[in-house]
Structure 1
Amino acid sequence: MKTQDTNIETPDWRTHFKRLEGAYAPATMRSYRADVEAFEAWCLENKCDAFPASVDTVCRFLQGQGVNKAPSTVRRRLYAIRKVHRLLQLPDPTYDEKINITYRRVNRAKLTRPKQAKGMTRDYLDSFLAVQPETPWGLRNKAMLSLGYELLTRRAELVALTTDAIEFREDGTMRAIIRRSKADPFGKGRIAFTSRQTAQLVQDWLAWRGPDIHHLFCPIYQEVAIDRPLSTTAVKRLIKDAARASGLDQEDVDAFSGHSFRVGAAQDLLTLGYDTAAIMRAGGWKSLGVLSRYLELAEHNVWKN
């Protein structure tokens, strides 16, 4: 690619972008790629150079993105632009104070609160479990719902669990190692425990599934377990289907997401009297600010009771 002002050949960023594979989660890689493509397309439309970009170009791009995009998306796009400049060993404009001021202006202009998934609290969990069919799919769904809630998992963490990451204990409970998560990119893992009820649901699923499948949860085709992991979309679909089957109206169904395990379990722990340090440890949170958003509705429920 040639820059418009200098006519100098600039390396293709997509080729260099591949160097990041394995260092970041696949979802992060997809987001960064989309962000850089959005910047490149904007630069082409506005007849300015993307790589290297000027401070003014980046400022105008961020301002334009801030009209329709959330501040978190604008910030991620800024990081993506920075990453590609560094990969290409080009002068990086993103640390200029004008960039910081522009982003702060974008952030302050957006007064909307972050959208919060509806929490799958214990009452909802019990309802969702009750509507599962007595089929192999029902066995798997019950184990997934109960385990996701008690381990406070993200949907990616739940589908990434492997059979060798769980251990059934003498007291009837289960121990699990969540080896990789959004907050643990290097896979140090966190250890979590389940109730006897959830351990039994997992055992029932494994008794049907069989021992020779690597991932704990897998697809089922014509009542045969398939040796590959489920997609993260399957978790979101499971929660919404269970909400719909339990008789909730469409507005409530739409409010649930793959994040509802963590939100609902955290809210329940607060109402049971656990402090924030214990909840952060249980869910592997690093940021008190993120957890505080999850707990807002639980605080409301405490006063209602």
Structure 2
Amino acid sequence: MSDQIQHKWRQEFKRLEGAYAPSTMRAYYTDIEIYIQWCAQTERMPFPGSVDTVCAFLLDQGPAFAPSTVRRRIYAIRKVHQLLCLPDPTHNEDINLTFRRIRRSKTSRPRQAKGMTKDYLGQFLAVQPDTPWGLRNKAMLSLGYDLLARRSELVALAVDDVEFRGDGTLRVLIRRSKADPEGYGRVAFTSKRTGQLITDWLDWRSKNFQPLFNPIYHGHVVNRHLSDTSVKHLIKSAAKDAGLDPGEANDFSGHSMRVGAAQDLLKAGHDTAAIMRAGGWKSINALTRYLENAECNVWL
């Protein structure tokens, strides 16, 4: 592929910024780079790509990646062709049939993150150090659990999104989420424990910074949001520091707060409609996967 086209697709992709989540944009860039590299290795033309080329690419990717990843790569290829005003091969029925074969060939169940239920949350809070990092981490863990938060939602929170209430709890506005790209937002409430931990963190840090959770460098707050990967690292580190078996600790992820809180709500007798509202789910299908392990124990 010529340097001119390489530059042009990147330039056109910039038009998408702001219309899609940053994580989606990063994934699309990665998908197209992988597609271009594969085309170079197989001596095929990526743009405009033929139906045969895209089908061959998908079949190459299918064994190594989840169907959701392969489907996203189809979307990325489609988007580039649309932006460059090129004939789009991805709507051809052969593409659809190829993807269906890939999806049907995947018989293994998706791996579910281990839930950070209230018992684990207590252990993870207890091992945080008595330092500014510990103050921040305890506040993040407790707030993430109470909000049933995705990691991207947690790190995107600003001080203005948090309202301190007279009873010691918090009212939190989650402005945007994966299931709410238009930004209608959802309101959630916290425990008094979380209200106190957020207060402790802000008392040390002050409210002069808009990001609710910041990096700390050499004991000083950096005025920017944490990355969403920091949530995953925090949960895995807390599991390890709590003395859990390495295999069990590895089962935790950035989604564990959301999974664990949903399981606890089910065990406490809340119905799925209430849990969906609390966590901002639009579809019951994803929630059902989260609740499977909890459901196994409800009747014990």
For 1:174, the aligned partner's letter is L
Can you list the C-alpha shifts for 1:95-154, whole angstroms capped at 9, x where unaligned? 111111111001001111111111100100011111222222221111111000000111
For 2:106, the aligned partner's letter is K
User: After the TM superposition, which residues 1-305 of structure 1 pair with which residues of structure 2 at under 5 Å, given as runs?
Assistant: 1=1, 12-303=8-299, 305=300
Separation in structure 1 between the aligned mates of residue 113 and residue 147 of structure 2, nearest angstrom: 17
Separation in structure 1 between the aligned mates of residue 69 and residue 16 of structure 2, nearest angstrom: 20
For 2:27, the aligned partner's letter is S
For 1:68, the aligned partner's letter is A
Q: How many residues are matched?
A: 300
For 1:101, the aligned partner's letter is L
Residues 224, 44 of structure 1: alpha-carbon distance in 2 compared, 3 angstrom cutoff: closer
How far 1:78 moved relative to its partner?
A: 0.6
Which is worse superposed, 131-140 or 199-208?
Answer: 131-140
Residues 163, 261 of structure 1: alpha-carbon distance in 2 compared, 3 angstrom cutoff: same
Q: CA RMSD in A?
A: 1.8
Runs of 5+ unmatched residues, structure 1: 3-7
Residue 116 of structure 1 aligns to a residue whose secondary structure is: coil
TM-score (norm 2): 0.95
Q: Would you say the 8 A contact 1:10–1:51 is kept in 2?
A: no
For residue 5 of structure 1, what is the aligned residue in structure 2?
A: none
Residue 172 of structure 2 aligns to a residue whose secondary structure is: strand
Separation in structure 2 between the aligned mates of residue 9 and residue 40 of structure 1, nearest angstrom: 11
Q: Would you say the 8 A contact 1:178–1:189 is kept in 2?
A: yes
Separation in structure 2 between the aligned mates of residue 99 and residue 236 of structure 1, nearest angstrom: 35
Q: Would you say the 8 A contact 1:55–1:94 is kept in 2?
A: yes
How far 1:228 moved relative to its partner?
A: 1.8
Separation in structure 2 between the aligned mates of residue 276 and residue 73 of structure 1, nearest angstrom: 28
How far 1:233 moved relative to its partner?
A: 2.0
Separation in structure 2 between the aligned mates of residue 245 and residue 11 of structure 1, nearest angstrom: 47
Runs of 5+ unmatched residues, structure 2: none
Residue 94 of structure 1 aligns to a residue whose secondary structure is: helix
Residue 278 of structure 1 aligns to a residue whose secondary structure is: helix
Can you list the C-alpha shifts for 1:179-211, whole angstroms capped at 9, x where unaligned? 121112222211000011111111111111112
Separation in structure 1 between the aligned mates of residue 9 and residue 22 of structure 2, nearest angstrom: 18
Residue 112 of structure 2 aligns to a residue whose secondary structure is: coil
Separation in structure 2 between the aligned mates of residue 284 and residue 179 of structure 1, nearest angstrom: 11
How far 1:226 moved relative to its partner?
A: 2.5
How far 1:47 moved relative to its partner?
A: 1.9
How far 1:28 moved relative to its partner?
A: 0.7
Residue 67 of structure 1 aligns to a residue whose secondary structure is: coil
Residue 91 of structure 2 aligns to a residue whose secondary structure is: coil
TM-score (norm 1): 0.94
Separation in structure 2 between the aligned mates of residue 13 and residue 64 of structure 1, nearest angstrom: 23
How far 1:10 moved relative to its partner?
A: 8.9
Can you list the C-alpha shifts for 1:22-49, whole angstroms capped at 9, x where unaligned? 1111111111111111111222222222
How far 1:9 moved relative to its partner?
A: 7.4
